């Protein structure tokens, strides 16, 4: 199991949310990142077991921000990870066919290494 494994920030940024969202989300962390182009993106880390950052905290790429959890027993331990091009989108209730405002995480990370 991945339960308790560390979660690291994908890039430098500012923590804008770090709290227990309840339901199927559990503990979540949202970080806003400023790209060299001046554009902002948001990374979302959900189902965390522990949150190791606070709202307003500045983090650097590679800083540990939490640990992998299971949304308080709702799922097998895993990290739910999203990169959003629209800041502050609602958490939502699950998978949606409307993917506007979301970026492909693998493609984004590969393009911004």
- What does the pLDDT profile of the chain (113 residues) look like in tens digits? 799 999 999 999 999 999 999 989 999 999 999 999 999 999 999 999 999 999 999 999 999 999 999 999 999 999 999 999 999 988 876 666 677 888 999 998 888 87
* Contact between 29 and 91 (Cβ < 8 Å): no
In this prediction, residue 96 carries a pLDDT of 64
* Contact between 83 and 33 (Cβ < 8 Å): no
In this prediction, residue 86 carries a pLDDT of 92
* Contact between 66 and 50 (Cβ < 8 Å): yes
* Contact between 20 and 27 (Cβ < 8 Å): yes
For the full predicted model, state whether its pTM sits above 0.85. Answer: yes
In this prediction, residue 31 carries a pLDDT of 98
In this prediction, residue 93 carries a pLDDT of 67
Tell me how far apart the alpha carbons of residues 57 and 15 are, in angstroms, rounded to a whole number. 5
Instruction: Collect all residues with Cβ–Cβ distance below 8 Å to 75 and sequence separation of at least 6.
Output: 24, 47
């Amino acid at each position: 199991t991945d339960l308790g494994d560390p979660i690291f920030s994908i890039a430098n940024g500012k923590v804008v949310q770090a709290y227990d969202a309840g339901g199927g989300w559990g503990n979540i962390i949202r970080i806003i990142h400023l790209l060299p182009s001046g554009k902002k993106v948001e990374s979302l880390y959900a189902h965390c077991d522990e949150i190791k950052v606070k709202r307003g905290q500045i983090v650097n790429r590679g800083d540990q921000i939490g640990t992998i959890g299971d949304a308080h027993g709702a799922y097998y331990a895993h990290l739910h990870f999203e990169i959003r091009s629209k800041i502050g989108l609602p958490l939502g209730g699950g998978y949606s066919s409307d993917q506007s405002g979301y970026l492909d995480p693998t493609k984004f990370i590969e393009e911004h290494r």
